[in-house]
Amino acid sequence: MPRVRDPLVVGRVIGDVLDPFTSSISLRVTYGNREVSNGCEFRPSAVVNQPRVEIGGNDLRTCYTLHYLLEPQTLKP
Residue 32 near residue 46 (C-beta atoms within 8 A): yes
Mapped onto helix, strand or coil, the DSSP state of residue 9 is: helix
Q: Where are the domains of the chain?
A: 24-74
Q: How far apart are alpha carbons 72 and 1 in whole angstroms?
A: 38
Q: What is Dmax (Cα atoms) for the chain?
A: 45
pLDDT (tens digit, 9 = 90+) per residue, 19-49?
888 877 888 899 999 998 877 888 888 888 9
CA distance 7 to 70: 17
* pTM, two decimal places: 0.60
> Residues 24, 59: contact at Cβ < 8 Å?
no
Q: What is the DSSP letter of 49?
A: S
Q: Is the pLDDT of residue 3 over 80?
A: no
